[in-house]
Amino acid sequence: KAAQEQKDRVELLKWLCNIDHTELYNSARNKYKDGTGEWLIDGSETFKAWEASTALKSFLWLHGKAGSGKSILSSSVIKHLQSRNKGIATTVLAYFYFSFSDIQKQRVDGMLESLIKQITAHRPYTPHSVQRLGEYKNNGGRPDTETLLEALIASMQGFSAYVRCQFENLQKLSSTDAVRKALRDLPSGLDSTYDRMLLSIDADFQPQVIASLKWLAFSVEPLEVDQLAEIFVLPSTIESGFDRMSYLFSPMDVLKYFPGLMVTQISHNHWDRKLYVRLAHFSIKEYLISDRISQGKLIDSEPRIADCLRFIFDNGAGVNMKENCSLAAALSVAARHEMEEVSRLLLDRGANVNEPAGQDGHPLQTLITNVSRPSLRFLEYMLNRGADPNAQGGTYNTALQAACATMYSDNIDAMTQVMELLIDRGADVSIQGGKYGTAFQAACCNDDVPTTVIDLLLEKGVDVNAQGGRYGNALQAACQRHIRNDASYGEKKRRQECMLEIVQLLLNRDADVHAQGGYYGTALQAACAKQNEDIVRLLINHGADVHAQGGYYGTALQAACVEQNVDIVSLLIDRGADVTVQGGRYGTALQTACVTGSLELVRLLLEKGARVNDEAGYHGTALQAACANSHIKVVRLLLEHGADVHLRNNGAWHVAARSRDDDLVRLLLDHGVDVNDAHGSHGSALQAAAAYSGQTPTINMLLNRGAHVNARGGKYGSALNAAVIAGFWDIVQVLLDAGA
């Protein structure tokens, strides 16, 4: 079994990341010369402070131009840390080099995958956060960035908890032989560690310990030691009665029953210092509420909560509650966590099953929104107790819209059954309101909703042209569906076919291809923004207006330019899209292309008649848009096509001066820009460069080209003031040497 687990572990890590993270490190070490980097490691107080820091978010940035030696410096830091932490079991060193020559080493996901692999490889077991990534391996997909980030954080946290537990256990031993024996029999991971800890507790006290752990795991606020001592002596069942509790001699005595499972901390309130208890690590809660626990799922908090509520109600609670508002909030919480027994108790005590509480609206919607696979039995119970399937309120407005919005690939069957139950019990598919306007729009925009669900709603008579919601109408919602770049080829193809089928289905049902409104303005703009050429072509063939304006990007052409999709841009132009139309976030399609830096797109638009000096949008001109993003090749192309460096109060010039690109500044100077132009918020290019560039070569170039060192005006008054405020002391010296 152990051999198979090790084999599975190796295969999982190999699948997760095949990047050799040592390649660029070794290359940098080969270029290392004796003494290189000593100024940083041995002489920099900033580095020493960073190295000694125990802060969770300690950060040190080595910044400099390409070729300035950052890679070699970084390799020296890595080597130093490896030597310093050699043999320390609680420390894992992971690193990653990005590379412009290797596309695999340009991805954020690649970095996260590599770090996870490195950390896991140094551990005696594979954390469950990493094991769960294997589900993507089995399904032929890849985890997204957020999933990888969560796995990385969880894997780092779990390792420290594992090591801490082993040290605590070893400290209890009194001989060398006992320590060696324990080291040979270390548990394989946190689960095995916590199994041993629970099983080692005196059997007579295990029910009380487990009951107390439930409170610690689910308590909304930290528990005081006194409170835990009270909880510890509560009867394990309501039938045992509350009148025969045997109290501990001292509240502090409770701590001895939880070795290694909890820690104490003193409140920071100087006037009311209290001793609190909490679980020693979040992984303990994660273990306790999981199905992995050796004796089954020990933690089921609902019966305990129900018992406490009965005790509270039996002792007079609720008598003075205004309009049962507290009951409504409690019922909302119970529904959110699918606590059927607690919900029954609250409803029996007068809670209103249709009263909204919180952003999830009424309890029925709350249940569907927060539980991935809602129990049909519980839903039927709520409906039988009078829950209105058409009650409105909350983020998704209705329970049906909530079901459509929260459906995903792993719960399609369950949520489809929920939808069918709601419709059978009278849910109106045409109700409008909420985030997506209608349940139908929610279904159309949800990437995971299959065609069968769309068919189900169409059969019930939904209006395909109903207006409202985030995307305006169902057609636009369907056109903005997203296919993840890291999805497998088969998954991409399946989702592409599903999306195309849904759009075709809507068009066959007379969906208005010209309808305007919503985030993207039109369905065509949404399809262009999502780079879906087949759907763009389908919409145009059904009469979509390529000139229509509105939405976030202004036009479909601008949306296509943002995504740098040359094929869709060419298609739109071939179908008559006007490249000179103004509007939207970036003003013109040419400005949009300049922001992205796509030389191919800029050239295409210029060839098709885009006007290089049109003024509009966020950046004002195409030249300023290119300068703001330091796309020097695009700037050069625009200048070749007659871009005027003096337009828009020399906005392009001042933006270029603020950049860290000397070549860009030199290019504009060579094309006749006035080095002392005083327009703009910073008064002069010299002041802008002094405030933001941090580059002494840029300052020297401007001074050599005649920039007035003492020019007054602008945000900071002078270039010298700007440099002082920014803390660029090397620039301050240059300016002083120039007569400031």
3-state secondary structure 480-511: CCCCCCCCCHHHHHHHHHHHHHHHHHHHHCCC
549: helix, coil or strand?
coil
| Residue 108 CB neighbours (<10 A) | 11
Given a cut of 50, whether residue 323 has pLDDT beyond it is no
Please say whether the beta carbons of 571 and 531 come within 8 A: no
Which range is least confidently modeled, 163-167, 239-243, 428-432, 517-521? 239-243
Rounded-to-integer distance, Cα 175 and Cα 341, Å: 52
Between residues 103 and 176, the one the model is more confident about? 176
What is the per-residue pLDDT for 320? 45
What is the per-residue pLDDT for 297? 42
DSSP 8-state class, residue 240:
G
CATH of domain 185-312: 1.10.10
Strand order from edge to edge, sheet including 223-224 = 223-224, 275-279, 262-266
> Token pair for residue 355?
């009263």
Mean pLDDT in residue range 392-417: 90
Rounded-to-integer distance, Cα 464 and Cα 570, Å: 30
What is the per-residue pLDDT for 535? 96
Given a cut of 70, whether residue 650 has pLDDT beyond it is no
Which range is least confidently modeled, 324-338, 353-367, 456-470? 324-338
What is the per-residue pLDDT for 199? 65
b/e per residue 218-241 (b: at least 16 CB within 10 A) = bbeeebbbebbbbbbebbeebeee
Between residues 216 and 621, the one the model is more confident about? 621
* Domain residue ranges in the chain: 1-51+65-158, 185-312, 456-545, 555-644, 652-738
Please say whether the beta carbons of 583 and 549 come within 8 A: yes
Please say whether the beta carbons of 405 and 365 come within 8 A: no
What is the per-residue pLDDT for 710? 92
Given a cut of 70, whether residue 312 has pLDDT beyond it is no
Rounded-to-integer distance, Cα 661 and Cα 667, Å: 10
List, in sequence order, every residue forming a beta bridge with 737; answer none if it has no partner.
none
What CATH fold (topology level) applies to the domain 456-545?
1.25.40
Q: What is the rounded average pLDDT for all residues in the chain?
A: 82
Q: What is the pLDDT of residues 477-490, one digit of tens each?
A: 999 998 776 667 78
Please say whether the beta carbons of 233 and 208 come within 8 A: yes
Question: Of 51-60, 610-619, 636-645, 653-662, which has the strongest mean pLDDT?
Answer: 636-645
Degrees, nearest 5: CA angle 347-352-357: 115
Rounded to the nearest angstrom, the gap between the alpha carbon of residue 83 and the centroid of all alpha carbons in its chain is 35
For strands 275-279 and 223-224, give the pairing.
antiparallel
What is the per-residue pLDDT for 319? 42
What is the per-residue pLDDT for 507? 96
Mean pLDDT in residue range 247-256: 82
Rounded-to-integer distance, Cα 564 and Cα 603, Å: 12
Specify the DSSP element, H or E, that contains 262.
strand 262-266
Residues whose CB falls within 8 Å of the CB of residue 349, separated by 6 or more in sequence, listed in order: 313, 318, 327
Q: What is the pLDDT of residues 680-700, one digit of tens each?
A: 777 888 988 888 877 788 899
DSSP 8-state class, residue 442:
H
555: helix, coil or strand?
coil
Report CA dihedral (217, 220, 225, 228) to the nearest 10 degrees: -60
Dihedral angle sign, alpha carbons of residues 600, 606, 612, 616: negative
Mean pLDDT in residue range 123-148: 77
Superfamily of domain covering 555-644 = Ankyrin repeat-containing domain (1.25.40.20)
Q: Is the pTM of this model over 0.75?
A: no
Q: Do domains 185-312 and 456-545 have the same CATH topology?
A: no
Given a cut of 50, whether residue 183 has pLDDT beyond it is yes
Please say whether the beta carbons of 170 and 163 come within 8 A: no
What is the per-residue pLDDT for 590? 96
b/e per residue 391-415 (b: at least 16 CB within 10 A) = bbbbbbbbbbbbbbbbbeeebeebb
Q: What is the pLDDT of residues 549-570, one digit of tens each?
A: 999 899 999 999 998 999 999 9
Please say whether the beta carbons of 399 and 369 come within 8 A: no
Tokens 């719960």 label which residue?
Answer: 411
Tokens 């993207």 label which residue?
Answer: 520
Please say whether the beta carbons of 493 and 527 come within 8 A: no
Mean pLDDT in residue range 449-464: 94
Residue range 652-738 in CATH 1.25.40.20 = yes
> Token pair for residue 730?
């090397």
DSSP 8-state class, residue 222:
P
Rounded-to-integer distance, Cα 537 and Cα 541, Å: 6
What is the per-residue pLDDT for 442? 95
b/e per residue 246-278 (b: at least 16 CB within 10 A) = eeeeebeebbebbebbbeeeeeeeeeeeeebbb
Rounded to the nearest angstrom, the gap between the alpha carbon of residue 241 and the centroid of all alpha carbons in its chain is 48
Please say whether the beta carbons of 453 and 443 come within 8 A: yes
Between residues 184 and 275, the one the model is more confident about? 275
List, in sequence order, every residue forming a beta bridge with 550; answer none if it has no partner.
554
Please say whether the beta carbons of 524 and 548 come within 8 A: yes
Residues whose CB falls within 8 Å of the CB of residue 219, separated by 6 or more in sequence, listed in order: none
> Token pair for residue 566?
């040359």
